[in-house]
Amino acid sequence: MIPPVLFDMDGVLLVGPTTHPGVYRAATHDALSDVGIDDPSPSTADVLEALRYDPAMADACDSLGIDIDAWWAARERHASRRANARVRSGDRAVFSDAGAVLAGLRSEHRLGLVSNNREATVRFVADYCFPDTFDVVVGRHPTIDDYERRKPDPTFINRALDQLGCTRDGDPGDGDGSAGDAAGIYVGDRGSDVVAARRAGLEPILIERPYTTLDPADVDATPAAWIDSLASLPSAVAEISQ
């Protein structure tokens, strides 16, 4: 069976390694305003504006008398709204070669978009930037529990494989365990992408960006192929799929 090709989003198809920090700062106050809090103390604001979840956020929410889970879900919703607007306006662009590469691969492979980013933004990017391209789209749900399942945890990749009907050992049907019978290929730009792919039974391809680093002591962080641009991806996929 021809393996599906799954893609990370940030830094692979979208320019830039992550959501702009200003999006989270603004979304923090959007979510507070939803419950009538417009002027938190500077120290509380500093905690809640953090780019990544921190357990201290629960204490900050307690001090304001609000539920951490409800506030987090609202912050995620507002962050997606603002991040999507940046893509729509062109403030955050897609890589210029992404569309053509995806179109070429789609003629032979099922494609998926699997990201640590919020699912509302991942789905927006799939529909707005690459319509009718992906067979499966997976991002994180707007819960703290799902935030903690980000790569290198393989949960999101496994969700995509489940939706595609794949297993860790390959697609349902015959196969001899060769690379061509792998559960799939995952294209990422970070060591955490490589580790998550390995843990899910996929062959990882790493696009080297200026910020890409790998832990040489982590055997799970060894990619099946290194490339320096999406233009080199089709040949790498073809070699792995043989």
Q: What is the pLDDT of residue 50?
A: 96
**Residue 125 scores a pLDDT above 50:** yes
- 5-16+92-241 classified as CATH 3.30.70.2740: no
Q: Read out DSSP for 160-227?
A: HHHHHT-BTTBSSS---SSGGGSS-EEEESSHHHHHHHHHTTPEEEEE--TT----TT-GGG--SEEE
Residue 187: per-residue pLDDT: 98
Judged against a pLDDT cut of 70, whether residue 27 lies above it is answered with yes
Region 135-162: what's the mean pLDDT? Answer: 98
Q: Taking a C-beta distance cutoff of 8 angstroms, is the pair 200, 157 a contact?
A: yes
pLDDT value of residue 174: 35
Whole-model pTM: value is 0.92
pLDDT tens readout for residues 35-55: 999 999 999 999 999 999 999
Per-residue buried b or exposed e for 142-169, using 16+ beta carbons within 10 Å of the residue's own CB: bebebbebbbbbbbbbbbbbeebebeee
- pLDDT value, residue 179: 42
pLDDT value at residue 168: 57
Q: What is the pLDDT of residues 74-115, one digit of tens each?
A: 999 999 999 999 999 999 999 999 999 999 999 999 999 999
Query: pLDDT by residue (tens digit) across 199-221?
Result: 999 999 999 998 898 877 776 88
pLDDT, residue 216, reads: 73
Angle between helix axes 68-89 and 119-129 (nearest 10 degrees) is: 20
The overall average pLDDT reported for the chain is 92
